[in-house]
Every structure is written in structure tokens, then in C-alpha cells.
Amino acid sequence: MSILCVGSIALDSVETPFAKAERVLGGSAVFFASAATLFAPVRLVGVVGDDYPLDDLDFLTNRGADLSGIEQREGKSFFWAGRYHSDLSGRDTLATELGVFADFQPKIPEPFRQSRYVFLGNIDPVLQHDVLDQVESPEVIACDTMNYWIEGGRESLVSLLDRVHILMVNDEEARQLADEPNLLRASRWIRERGPDIVVVKKGEHGAILFADDWLFHVPGFPLEEVFDPTGAGDAFAGGFMGHIAAAGSLDTDDIRRAMVYGSVMGSYAVERFSVDRLIDLIPDAIEERMLGFHQMTAFEALVQVEERV
């Protein structure tokens, strides 16, 4: 079942301690689709300028993605440049040029409006509301956001929570949104305002899912080499939503598996610059790393209860 994805489509220049890449594919929608299309078709909505190499997205079309929702306008595409610190846990933004993305008003094509699964990438919550006004009774709506919107668009974002089923944020964003340092209490505050599920991403330390009466933690996959963390969170979301759409289920076991598939895709995304690793990724490699997660975390619980007299 297809997933409607609305988000940024960008060009990135990234510098890490190991190398640099100039004007490569980037943006939340591109990273999401690069991961999700390995599980299910994606309907992509976004805007690019006339400088954008749309042919470079042919790999998505070859996987069954529908790119007819990408609008190309005269002008420059969204461009971001950043430099990562030596430990890759922090970065400095060197340039942010919104270009045509500054006036982005999502227009959902008629064939896309009946999508059962919707992913709202990290854009203005006012625009996220607008997207939901255009779709018809989706079954699962997942949403991402960031510190900028939590601070500058808080009212719209909080009202959006009542319309989404799954919120995906990092730990800093969860604490900021709830104004609560404890993640368990922060997740409860968020769920009380709408989402059934809160997924808190913790970078190299994995992710935690909070639901009403259960939680699930998946670690980060140990890697000897990490080249570019850009977009790892969006790749995680792509793996998560891709599995949910492929399974057609929100059963607890499928949600747990979706968390692991999310971590698998995030771990592959960081192995090269841009979406390069996701372009040539094959299903066998995904399942091999999925098995690696299982072997890394599975154990037999031996519970011994002493009799007390």
C-alpha cells in the first residue's frame, strides 16, 4: 500500500572529518522515500527549482514511487550545507538557502488523496495541517518536527498532535515540546494530546517507542565506520512506515518490527554520503542486518522465584 510523503527535497553539501560531498541529494522526503520504497510504494510531494537534477531520482521511480507530486519551479532549490564535528555527534550549519521551498504550498494530487498511510516530513506545522485537510480518511498518520517549529510554531504544532497517530522526534525535541526533562513523562504529555505512539530517536543510541501501556527500545547498530549522519532520522522513519504499510497492520509485534526496520535503514543511511547507500541496498542486506539486530538483543529470560516460608 502506497505511502504519501510530504517534505523537503533539497541539495546538500556535507563535510565530515573523512571527506566532503557537494550538492548531493538531500531533504527529508528524499531520505524517507529512499528507505521506504524498499518496502512499499511512495507518493512524493514537494517542490524543487529548475537547478534540481530530477533524473537522479529515477531510482525511486524504478522502485514504484510516484513523483508526479513534485512541483518544479523557476528558481533555486532548497540548499543546505553543514560541517560535522570530529565525533559526528554535532554539526555546524554553514548555509541554508530556502529558494523555492520558502513559498512551498503543498498541493496533493487527486490520486494521492486516498492514501491510507501518510508521513508528514519536517515542515511548518501550518503546512502539515494543510496536507491533512487535503487527504481523505488516512488510517495511519506519522509526523516529524524539529526544535525550530516547537519554538516558533508551537500553537499549530500542539493542535496538530490531535490529528496524528505517531509522532517521531529526537530526545531533545520531546523534552522541549513537553517542557519535561524526563522522557517517560514527556512522552505521556505528548500522547495525552493525541498521538497513540511517540517514537523518540536517540541517534547512535537507537530509539524508544512509547505507547499507552508498553514501550520498546531498539539500540543503534554498531558500525565501525560512519560517514554521514545526515538524514538518518528520515531513513529511520522510512523503514518504520515502510514496514507498517507493507504489513498493513498496527499490531504490537508489527510495530516492534517496524522499529527495528527503522534502525536498520538508519544504520545503512550513515554508511555513505547522501542516499548513496540506500540506492544500491538490496532486500537480502536488509534482512541480514535485521537478523543481526535479533541476535544482538534476543535472550532467554530465566526467572527464579524463591519460596519464602
pLDDT, tens digit, for every residue of 212-258? 999 999 999 999 888 899 999 999 999 999 999 999 999 999 999 99
Examine residue 174 and state whether it is found in any structural domain, yes or no. yes
Residue 307: predicted pLDDT: 59
52 exposure class (CB count in 10 Å sphere: 0-12, 13-18, 19+)? buried
Q: Is 212 within the bounds of a domain? A: yes
Burial class (CB in 10 A: 0-12, 13-18, 19+), 45: buried
Domain assignment present for 309 = no
CA distance 43 to 293: 29
Q: What does the pLDDT read at residue 87?
A: 81
Whether the per-residue pLDDT at 142 is higher than 80: the answer is yes
Q: Which of 43, 59, 20, 2 is nearest to 278 (CA)?
A: 59
- Residue carrying C-alpha cell 526533562: 181
pTM for the whole thing? Answer: 0.95
Assess if residue 136 is contained within a domain. yes
What is the total count of domains within the chain?
1
* Mean pLDDT of the residues in the chain: 95
Is residue 308 situated within a structural domain?
Answer: no
Query: Does residue 303 sit within a domain?
Result: no
How far from each other are the two terminal CA atoms of the chain, in whole angstroms? 59
Sheet containing strand 10-15, strands side by side: 20-26, 10-15, 78-84, 91-97
| Residue ranges making up the domain that contains 20 | 3-297
| Burial per residue of 268-294, b for 16 or more beta-carbon CB atoms within 10 angstroms, e otherwise | bbbbbbbbbbbeebeeeebeebbeebe
Q: The domain spanning residue 146 has which CATH number?
A: 3.40.1190.20
